[in-house]
Structures are given as structure tokens and as C-alpha cells.
Amino acid sequence: FFAPGAIQAAWGSDKDPYDIPAYGNVTLLHMTDSHAQLLPVWWREPDTNIGVGPVLNQTPHLCGKWMLDYYGLAHSGRDEYTYSCLDYDTLAKHYGKIGGYAHIATLVKRYREQLGNRALLLDGGDTWQGSATALWTKGEDMVGAQNLLGVDDFVGHWEFTYGQKQVEYLVKNKLKAKFLAQNVFSNTWQEPVFQPYQIHEISGRRIAVIGQAFPFTPIANPGYMIPDWGFGIHTEHMQKMVDECRNDKKADLVVVLSHNGADVDKKMASLVRGIDIILGGHTHDIMGPKPFQVNQTLVINTSTNGKILARFDLDVGKGKLNGWRFHYLPVFSNLIPADAAMSEYIDGVRKPYLEKLQQPLATTGSLLYRRDNFNGTFDQLLCDALRAEMNCEASFSPGFRWGYCKLPGETITMEDVMGQTAITYPQVTVNNYTGEQIKNIMEQVADNIFNPNPYYQQGGDMIRVGNIQYDFNPDEKIYHRISNLRIGGKLASASKKYKVAGWAAMQPVEGKPVWEVFGSWLQSQKHVEVKKVELPVLNADMRSNHGIAFPKTYKL
Amino acid sequence: GNVAGWPAKAFDAKVLDEAMGDSIGKTDVPVSSKVSLKAPTIAENGGAVPVTIEVDSPMTADDYISTVWLFVDHNPTPLASQFTFTPACGKAYIQERIKMAKTDNVRVVAKTNKGELMASAPREVKVTIGGCGG
Amino acid sequence: MAEALGNPMIRMPGSAKKGEIVEIRSLIMNPMTTGLQKDKKTGKLIPAHFIQTVTITFNDKPLLDIDWSTAVSSNPYLAFKMRAEESGTLKMVWKDNTNGSWSADSKITVS
Ligand SMILES: [Mn+2]
Ligand SMILES: [Mn+2]
């Protein structure tokens, strides 16, 4: 399968880590939130992923050593690289990039050969967005990759940002997988828009897969793109679907393919009876190598960017799950040969755009990453760029959780800029906000992340701010989390107006696409270093929060 | 002009207590698990928030839900709708869409044919600027 | 308001078993303006224009009476239920505060 030397170096033994003995009669393969990364990328786990309320210090709200300790993993080597942000630069050089559809394809093919038609491949969504080619082909390049990979069922979130018509077009005419959503209803007649579930006959058992689209799509992303589609969690309707699958369709196993996010999945598992497994995404969290159990339901979340392929081997009996084995497989692209057919497909997708993708803009002396609750080095650069190019004293940038990393010494290309910005509402705008408006915007976003009731959370991270400083208490209520708000180091005045640059507005606006603004700033800089990431000062109670790997960065 | 029979006084009331007083005749009604009110936790569009009301009742000639009121606590006029059921409905059930300007509570009060009053738990619907995402 | 007014629509099953509870859903075009909002161009208040009552009968017998405020969304959607006891006609009448009146009906066969 691959070179023993390479395995030896990565695993400390010659045993093939992807060699899994067959067990049971049904296998579920799960991947999610690839964010259209056809090629392997660098992906650093967050150092800050704070859990509040019922999920305080629970997986996946564990960072750095806390995550390793929770699962009893080694503080070194491949486990440290897979499950934590620790020693990232060093480990990245040793273990290489993660993901890549050609490498995932090799694994999937291998397991299909091993298991025959006992295996289902389920894709948790956020597959059509996140890269230049996905944006320029309106998601179609990814549909091609999904078809080649043999995805059986699929759900959505960022997919919807291509608009109602394009989603309908791709789902009806191009996508071979079933697009499932039990929680999307038309806004005129309140009728289901998509097929809610699919029943698969495997090994003489009936496997129900119920789709759950991201419940807050028209709030987290522009609602005007999907005017006739209403979302929501729809817990009661989920119960109805589970009962219908079990009672009317005689399902022996009920699986929810979910884009709720980890905290909402856990709460839903506690409210709905009869779900065996929730395969979750959206939050991009590492939530393994063991599933989390809520009553009788096993809950997982399968990372992002193609980093993990999850494999559930199940012994499904008549009407019940008799046993299971779970494997959380990091896709180390150096160790898995690329699948030829998928490589050829990817080359074909990229070919017309290659020159533009590879256009060099600047070199970086720092590790560039995005994911963290409050700020990342890539976002720091983006906020700096927005302020400089738009001549503003402050800037806002959305707390997206996608966007891969660059290592120190690498060249930032146009493709990398698109990897941070490729959305269908990219316009940069300049707004004159009062200090009070700035605080209100930040407070509202904060409540969407830190509300102790998961059903009021949307996922995502805190809005990134350029030249705005603040103190923050995640445990407070809305409008009380932020204090000591300063702009340019000076206490913000509630009534004074400040010029703030931003992008990704929820309403249609005019403006240059953000990649142009960011790209031209990078070109003018030639070389960038992030000397300091601006972070809020956190409330002292956060000292005991295991979602923070480096408390000192927050003055804790 | 107003349609004949439309309860103008209750609908014109500007605060919740007044609206409840003018419609139900009471401002404190015990919460009952028989009154179910479904609404999204976060509104996708404050101009059209879907709500579903269901009251547990046999809906027979001598035991049925006669009236249901729907309120939004801080709307300019809190009484949003009044429903007068008959046993022939079979179920005291309504689904409609309402307007909410800001994060607020939605609540329902139901009255049986015998005059017994019961309320739903207030349900908070958040109206937010949104943005961002994973 | 250039939008269409009226055009009431009813969706209900055409047949049911005796005693079955059926769901009836309806839509009608109406601006449902509150009277509190200003026209962005003229700065003048847009007058309230909204449906106040919906009267629903089955075979001319009262089924459900509804009173609405301006809090009901534009182009109101309404779903409710009925116990199917006999074949017949469901009729809905919507009336607004500007003397507008619309009706629609739908038949059901009960066996
Ligand atoms: Mn998502
Ligand atoms: Mn995602």
C-alpha cells in the first residue's frame, strides 16, 4: 500500500495503520467539511475552542494537551499532530499535508474492495465551497469529485450560498449522491424541499440515513440567496422521521448525517429517541478517536479539509445495533498514494485556472492559520490589509472556521488568498459605525457562539477585528460579554463614528471582492510576518477552561 | 374600517398586560404542558417567523378548546391572533407566520369550553444580525 | 404596493376516511402593513392594510374563526385541522380593513 520506511517514520512500526480488520455487516465511511480542498493542505487544530454551559470542558471543546489527555493520546508524534495544535511547525514538516481527494479516494477504494457493497460513503456537507475552483465553477468541480469518490448521501450548508437555482440544478442534474434534508421547508407552503432520508439495504439490513442541513443557514449566510427555503433544527420533525424510519420503513439502524455542529448534535441526541449514530460536521472539530455517547446515541464530528476519514464498522441486527468498532483515520497525504483517476480529474479541473491560481503574491515568515475562537494569524493579516487598502481605522472580518494554513517560508499565492476568501458575497464595504454599533455587532456575534444553550448557537468563531481591543467574558449574557472596548488603544466612544472596513455582508452590497483587496495588499508587502495576534483579555474564570491551550496569550 | 366583530380593543392594546386583560380578562394564567408552542430558536426572517400551536384536547362537544390567543410580548400591539375553534376541528391546531422586530417571547393562552385557562411556556425567539459560520 | 391582492389558495386532501383528522393549508396575498412604517421615498406613513378576519365553515356550519392583527406576516399562510365526518365543502372567507373580501372553497369526499 505504501513504503514501509514511511510508515516506520510516521508510526514507529511497519504495521499499516490503514489496515482494518473487517467487523460486522455494515460499514459507514464519513467525511465532512472538506471546503472544496481537492489537494492536500496544511491544517492546524485550534488553540482556542471554548465550551460554555453544558459543554464546558467536554470534547470537542478541548485544546492542546487537554485534548490529548482526554483521549489518552501521546504528547508526541502523529497523535500530537492529529489531535492538537502543539509543535505545529515542527510536526507539519515531519508528517506532511493532510487530506486531498486523490488520497481520500485511495482509502475509500481500498475499503470498498475490502468490504464490497457493505460500505456507505456519507458526506456531511460544506463540500462545494472554500476554494477558487469551487467558486469559479459554482460548486460543480466538487460534484465531479464526489461522483468519482462515490458519495452515497450528502447534506448541506455552504452549498446553499450558490443560491437556490444552482443547488437545485446540481442536485437534480449533476450529483449522483442523494441530497438529504429533513429540516428544510419552503417559505410559501411550509413543505419539505428535499428528500428527508434514504433507506439503504445492506447485508439484509435496512439502514436509514436522515439528512440534517445546517439549521441556521439563512442567518449565518445571506438569506436572500435562498429566499424560499426555511431552515431550523426541527427536533420534533426529526423525531417524526426517526419513528417513520423505524416503524413504517422497518429500519434496523438509524443514522443522522448532520451539519448541526457538535454542541447542537449532542443536545439533539438528548431530545430525540431512536437515533443510533450521528455523523456530525460544521464545527470542524476533532471529536475522536472515540465516539461521544448521549444516552443510546453515538455522536462524532469528523474534522475538516479532508483531514479525517471516519469508519464505523457495525454489527447491525434485526432492529438493533449489536456492536461497533470505530476508526478515526487521519489522511496523511505523504503516506497514501494518490488515486490516478482522481488525480487526473483534479488536474483537469485546475488546468484552465492554473496560471491565476499559482500567481505568487508574497512570502510569509510566520505560520498563517485562521481557526481559533478569537483571531488567527491569517485573519490578522486580512484585517491589516482591509484597514490599509480601505484607509480605515478599524476592520471586521468574519470568524469563518475554514481556511487552511501556510507554513513559515512558503509563498502565498492567489489560490491561498482564495482559500481564505472564496465566497459568493465577497464585497468589501466601508461603514461609519458608532462605538455603540461596533459593540452591538460584536456582542450579537459573540452570543451566536457562546450562548450556553446550543440551540441558540450558530457555530463559527468570533468576528475578527482590526485595531479594536476588548476584554471578554464568555460566561456573561448578551450585551455584557465585552468591556473596555478600545479603538486604536483608546476607549471607544459610544456616539463617535469610526470608519470600519469589512466584507461578507448579509445584504446585497456593492464593493470590490475581498481577494482583490487582500491580494493587492500582499503584493505591495512582498514579505509578511505576524509579530503579534491581537486577542482579547479574557475573564479570569477562563483559567480553568480546557478549551484554551495557551492561557498566557489571553493574559490568564 | 374594521371588519364587524373584530376585537379592536384587545388588538389595539400597546402592552402585554393590557392586551391580555382586554382579550382573556386575566394577566396571569398557569402554564400547562397541554399547550404546545413551536417556534424557531433563532428567526431566519423577523418578518415571517413560523409558529405552530397545538393544544391537547379531545375536541368533543362537551370538552373542547374554544379560544386560543397568540401574543408577542413587546410587539407594538402584543396580541397577534385570536382563534375560535369548534369541536369539528378535531384538533386545536394552527400554523402561521408572524412578525417580530427583535429578540422576544412568544406565548399562547388557551381557553376550554368550560372557561378553564392555560398557557404555554413563553418561547424565546432570537432576532440577530447573524453572519459568520463554520 | 404593486403586489397582487387576494388570489386565495387552499390545499387539502380530496378524500378521507370518516373520523380522520385532515390538515388544511391556505395562502392569500395581502401586504399586512402595520401603519407604523414610513415609505422610504416619500417619508409618509404607509397606511395599515391587513386581513382582520378569516371565517372558515364546512357545509355552511362554523368550523374556525380567526382574528388577525398586523403582526401576521405579509401574504398570510394558515394551516389548521378538521375532523372529516361527512363529504362536503370547506369554505374560507378573508376580510381586510379596506373592505376587501375574498373567498375560496375546496371539496372533500369522506368514506
Ligand atoms: Mn458549515
Ligand atoms: Mn464547514
Distance CA A325, CA A291 (A): 10
What SS3 state is found at A246? helix
Instruction: Classify C91 as helix, strand or coil.
Output: strand
pLDDT 10s digits, B23-32:
999 999 999 9
Q: Which of B14, B16, B67, B84 to mutate to test the interface with C (most CBs of C within 10 A)?
A: B84
Nearest CA in chain B to C98: B1
- pLDDT at C3 (0 to 100): 60
Is residue B59 in a domain?
A: yes
Q: How close does chain B come to A316, measured CA to CA in Å?
A: 33
Q: What is the A37 CA–ligand 2 centroid distance (Å)?
A: 12
Distance from CA of C102 to the nearest CA of A (A): 19
Nearest CB neighbour to A219, from listed B42, B48, B50: B42
Core vs surface per residue A377-399: b (16+ CB within 10 A) or e: bbbbbbbbbbbbbbebebbbbbb
Please state, in angstroms and as integers, the Cα–Cα distance from residue A534 to each residue in A436, A485, B63, following that order. Answer: 21, 13, 65
DSSP A350-368: HGGGHHHHT-EEEEESS-B
Distance A65 CA to ligand 2 centre (A): 24
CB contact (8 A) between residue C63 and residue B3: no
How do residues A140-152 score in pLDDT, each as one tens digit? 999 999 999 999 9
Q: DSSP character for A373?
A: S
In a domain, residue B132? The reply is: no
Residue from C49, C80, C96, C103 whose CB has the most chain B CBs within 10 Å, to mutate: C80
- Tell me how many residue pairs between chain A and chain C have CB atoms under 8 A apart: 10
C11 near A CB under 8 A = yes
| Number of CB atoms found within 10 A of residue B25's CB | 10
- Residue B3 in any domain: the answer is no
Chain C residues whose beta carbon lies within 8 Å of the beta carbon of residue A189? 11, 25, 27, 77
Helices and strands in chain C: count of H runs, count of E runs: 0, 8
Per-residue model confidence (pLDDT) at position A2: 61
CATH at C24? 2.60.40.10
Chain B CB within 8 Å of residue A426 CB: no
The parent domain of residue B106 ranges over 8-125
Minimal-distance CA residue of chain C relative to A188: C77
ipTM of the complex: 0.91
Question: What is the reported pLDDT for B129?
Answer: 78
Ligand closest in space to the Cα of A305: 2
DSSP character at residue A554? G
Total tally of structural domains belonging to chain C: 1
Q: How confident is the model at residue B131 (pLDDT cuts 50, 70, 90)?
A: confident
Where is A524: in which H helix or E strand? helix A514-525
Residue A223 forms contact with B (CB below 8 Å)? yes
- pLDDT of residue B98 exceeding 60, the answer is yes
Average pLDDT over residues C11-37: 96
A443 at B interface, C-beta within 8 A: no
CATH number at residue B16: 2.60.40.2470
H or E stretch covering A108: helix A101-115
Domain extent at residue C45: 6-106
Chain A stretch 178-207, residues whose beta carbon is closer than 8 A to a beta carbon of chain C: 188-190
Q: Name which of B38, B41, B129 is nearest A456 (Cβ-Cβ).
A: B41
> For residue A105, what is its C-alpha cell?
479516494
Q: Which ligand is the nearest neighbour of the Cα of A34?
A: 2
Taking an 8 Å cut-off on Cβ atoms, the answer to whether A188 and C27 are in contact is yes
Strand partners, A316: A321
Q: What is the pLDDT of residue C2?
A: 47
Q: Is residue B72 part of a domain?
A: yes
**CA gap C53, A21 in Å, rounded:** 67
**Residues of A (12-41) whose Cβ lies below 8 Å from B:** 33
Question: Is the residue at C19 inside a domain?
Answer: yes
Using a pLDDT cut of 90, give the percent of chain C over it.
Answer: 89
- Which residues 86-115 of A have a C-beta within 8 angstroms of B? none
**What's the gap in Å between A304 CA and the centre of ligand 2?**
7
pLDDT < 70 regions, chain A: 1-4
- The domain tally of chain B equals 1
In the three-class reduction of DSSP (H, G, I as helix; E, B as strand; rest coil), residue A113 is classed as helix
Taking alpha carbons only, the member of A102, A108, A89, A107 closest to residue A42 is A89
B130 within some domain: no
Cα of A142 vs centre of ligand 2, distance in Å, is 14
Listed in order, strand segments (DSSP E) in A269-370 are 277-280, 286-294, 297-302, 308-317, 320-330, 360-364
Residue B87 maps to a domain: yes
State residue A15's pLDDT score: 82
Residue B18 resides in a domain: yes
Residue B30 lies in a domain: yes
Is residue A14 within 8 angstroms of chain C, CB to CB? no
Question: How close is the nearest chain C Cα to the Cα of A167, in Å?
Answer: 26
Helix segments in A27-87, DSSP class H: 65-70, 77-83
In a domain, C1, yes or no: no
Q: CA-to-CA distance for C11 and B129, rounded, in angstroms?
A: 35
Cβ–Cβ below 8 Å for B97 and C21: no
- Count CA within 13 A, CB hemisphere, residue A460: 29
Q: Does A303 touch chain B (CB under 8 A)?
A: no
Q: Is the CB of A190 less than 8 angstroms away from the CB of C79? A: yes
Please judge whether B48 and C66 are an interchain contact, meaning their C-beta atoms are less than 8 angstroms apart: no
C-alpha distance from A407 to closest chain C C-alpha (Å): 51
- Looking at residue C1, its pLDDT comes to 43
Q: Is C10 on the interface with A (CB under 8 A)?
A: no
Distance A146 CA to ligand 1 centre (A): 17
Assess whether pLDDT exceeds 80 at residue C41: yes
**What residues contact residue A372 under an 8 Å CB cut-off, 6+ apart?**
A46, A47, A48, A49, A461
Give the β-pairing of C6-11 and C51-58: unpaired
Q: Which domains does chain A have, with CATH numbers?
A: 28-39+101-331 (3.60.21.10), 358-546 (3.90.780.10)
Contacts of B1 in chain C (CB under 8 A): 97, 99
Say if residues A29 and A119 touch (Cβ distance below 8 Å).
yes
| In contact, A82 and A17? CB cutoff 8 Å | no
What distance in Å separates the CA atoms of residue B24 and residue B72, rounded to the nearest whole number?
A: 15
